Amino acid sequence: MGNEHSASSDIRSQRDDEYKHSSLSLQRPIGADSTKPPSKLSSRSKSVPAPSGSIVVVADGLRRSETDAELKMLNQTPVFVPLIESASLPRIDKSSLLKMAARYEEHLKTCSEAIVFDQNVLYTRIRDIDSLAQNVYMSMTERQRKYAKYAEQLQRISDTRSTLTKIRMNMTKTVHLMKELNDRLPDDEKLEEFHVNIIDESSTPAE
């Protein structure tokens, strides 16, 4: 029993030492007491043994002398104070605020109903305009087809007219050659004069 009691007391003393070391490390950060140069500190650590439970600093960490830009901006940020103190909130009458919120809700509801009505009217008009535009498009497409047929017929008329002009020229030339040939024949073999009524295009009335 004595051995168990002594072992438990040793464990408690070790835990107390560890707690002291951890609390000491939290209260005094690393590098807080390291004001001497590293050379003297190293020579002292060689000559004098460090006591148990103390923290030995080998080298100081890099210290930034300049203030961080973000911290500077944070310090320049103005302090925001609430409009109404929390102590006076229970004394405020909430009924007026609730009435105002209900009135605002009713106003938004009325505005939304008006907007929905206008949207429905616009949708109906857009649908009617789309239907009318579709009808106009179909009518114009049908008219374009008719005009394409008319253009094709006019092209045929132009081709026929050019063909008739060529035929007229050939007939005129043929009649002239027949007349010359008939003049060269003897009198007893001559034929009657061949007459062809050729309509001149210049004499036809313009359409």
97-113: pLDDT as tens digits: 899 999 999 999 999 99
Which positions ≥6 away from 172 have C-beta within 8 Å?
A: 198
**Lowest mean per-residue pLDDT among 25-29, 59-63, 91-95, 102-106:** 25-29
Tell me, yes or no, whether 24 lies in a domain: no
Tell me, yes or no, whether 177 lies in a domain: yes
Domain extent for 139 = 97-200
Tell me, yes or no, whether 88 lies in a domain: no
Q: How far, in Å, CA of 15 to CA of 51, rounded?
A: 18
On whether the CB atoms of residues 42 and 53 are closer than 8 A, the answer is no
Residue with tokens 């949207």: 119
Residue with tokens 């008939």: 182
The count of domains in the chain is 1
Tell me, yes or no, whether 27 lies in a domain: no
Tell me, yes or no, whether 193 lies in a domain: yes
User: Residue 202 carries which DSSP code?
Assistant: G
Q: What predicted TM-score, i.e. pTM, was given to this entire model?
A: 0.35
H runs (alpha helix) in the chain: 2-27, 38-47, 69-76, 94-184
* Residue 141 binned pLDDT confidence (cut-offs 50, 70, 90): very high
